[in-house]
Amino acid sequence: MDQLCAVAEVSKRTLYQHFTGKDELIAECLRRFDPDILPEVFDRTDLTPRERLLAAFDVHTPLCPFIAAAVEIPDPGHPARVHARDYKKAFAARLSDTAREAGATNPEQLGEQLALLLDGASARSRVLNTETLATAAAIAAVLVDKAIPTAAVPPGAGGNPSARMGRVPDAVTSSGAHGRAEKLQ
């Protein structure tokens, strides 16, 4: 707390007037981090729902602060852990809602798969100190293409929507890649 007060240039007294302790401070930081759950992705009107699902992989941070808080704080009842859990559920719900809008045959499953893929890529990036989100985005494109029937693609869009977004070449989404995606499910 001393270091935080020094960086913020406030006294401990001032800090404790605003927060009862570090638990409340951590929880408030998480509440303010992304209160609307990626509006820069999910609220975009210039992208199709399918494109918004894949765009989540472009803006996700290398280490999700919600995962970091959950790892560091063992108490599941801690305010920060509660907020992290609620955020992760809400994030998966936004993915599921977008998958439903895109015409996915099982939007809840696709939303959970994409949330798990993002969380796993975030954790792996941190542990290995390497970039894994591009690989996760390629896997996401296969999952999305498999889960959303071709009939759900808007007229005139045609082809592989992931390839149009510069994600995955058509060859990667051939039946061989879909076969691997089926094993992932």
Q: Which two tokens stand for residue 115?
A: 């949330």
pLDDT digits over 36-77, tens only? 888 999 999 999 999 999 999 988 666 788 998 898 899 999
Q: Is residue 66 part of a domain?
A: yes
Q: How many residues does the chain have?
A: 185
Q: Is residue 29 part of a domain?
A: yes
Give the residue among 89, 81, 146 at the shortest CA–CA distance from 115.
Answer: 89
Q: Is residue 2 part of a domain?
A: no
Percent of the chain with pLDDT over 90: 45
Per-residue pLDDT at 60: 64
Q: How confident is the model at residue 153 (pLDDT cuts 50, 70, 90)?
A: low
Per-residue pLDDT at 158: 46
Q: Is residue 33 part of a domain?
A: yes
- Which region, left, alpha or beta, applies to residue 106 given φ > 0 means left and ψ of -120 to 50 means alpha? beta
Tell me how far the alpha carbon of residue 52 is from its chain's centroid: 11
Q: Is residue 144 part of a domain?
A: no
Q: 57-91 burial, b for 16+ CB within 10 Å, e for fewer?
A: beebeeebbbbbbbeebeeeebbbbebbeebbeeb
| CATH number of the structural domain spanning residue 61 | 1.10.357.10
Measured CA to CA, the distance from residue 6 to residue 3 in angstroms comes to: 5
pLDDT digits over 115-129, tens only? 999 999 988 988 898
- Which region, left, alpha or beta, applies to residue 61 given φ > 0 means left and ψ of -120 to 50 means alpha? beta
pLDDT of 136 higher than 80: yes
Its pTM stands at 0.73
Domain that holds residue 68: 13-137
- Name the domain count of the chain: 1
Q: Is residue 181 part of a domain?
A: no
Per-residue pLDDT at 177: 34
Per-residue pLDDT at 89: 96
Q: How confident is the model at residue 148 (pLDDT cuts 50, 70, 90)?
A: very high
